[in-house]
Amino acid sequence: MGKKTADMELLLEAARAKNRMTSTLELSERTKSTQQTVSRKLQQMEKDGYIQRTVTPKGQTIELTEKGADLLQKQYAALKETFEAKKKTEVKGIVESGLQEGKYYMSLPQYREQMQEKLGFAPFAGTLNLRAEADAFAAKEPIWIEGFTTKDRSYGRIKCHKAKIGKIEAAVIFPERAHRTGVIEIIAPVELRKKMGLKNGDHVKIEVI
């Protein structure tokens, strides 16, 4: 079976029909193909090992095989990568000093463990502060790092957006309880100031994924 759009659409419809009776007429209407074409393609899919069928006088049931599910998963991954690439946003900012709170918060294991799991890295104990507008993040779906409570105090949630600075994996973070405006904080698995040789006033470009 080829990977043409029509074939993938039919395979997807076959997956949706799992555990219920369907027919070539129904599938032809859903894929806007002729019954003859649908029948021929289903036979070929079955022969190639992408589906299993049980045909009765009242219709047929179709189930994806592991091979068919794997093909759909690969197609989904390729489409996801294509469309997510178009969602990348570029943000420019100017390096400035922070309030020295990032080092403390980024050293807390309750935050670090979640960031390792959800962002893919444990952050360096500190943040890079940039004077930049936060409007670019309004339409993007964030990754939330949940807050927690200790016997001494409670800690708020942190909204995160995955990003890259050059080739360095990073994330833009917005603590719920932050008070500064016009400033965004960047975390990374390395000390960005040192790694990139940055100083206050330097211009930095961030690619938000």
Residue 158: predicted pLDDT:
96
For the domain made up of 5-85, give the CATH fold: Arc Repressor Mutant, subunit A (1.10.10)
Answer yes or no: is pLDDT of 1 > 50: no
- Sequence-separated (6 or more) residues with CB below 8 Å from residue 176: 147, 156, 157, 158, 159
Highest mean pLDDT: which range of 62-66, 74-78, 170-174, 180-184: 170-174
Pick the CATH number of 89-208 from 3.65.10.10, 2.30.130.10, 1.25.40.20, 2.40.30.30: 2.40.30.30
Q: Are 206 and 91 in contact (CB under 8 A)?
A: yes
Confidence of residue 6 (pLDDT cuts 50, 70, 90): low
Q: Are 137 and 208 in contact (CB under 8 A)?
A: yes
Mean pLDDT of all residues in the chain?
86
**Any idea where the domains of the chain sit in the sequence?**
5-85, 89-208
Answer yes or no: is pLDDT of 3 > 60: no
Average pLDDT score over residue span 125-147: 87
C-alpha closest to that of 15 among 33, 4, 2, 31: 31
Answer yes or no: is pLDDT of 197 > 70: yes
Answer yes or no: is pLDDT of 5 > 70: no
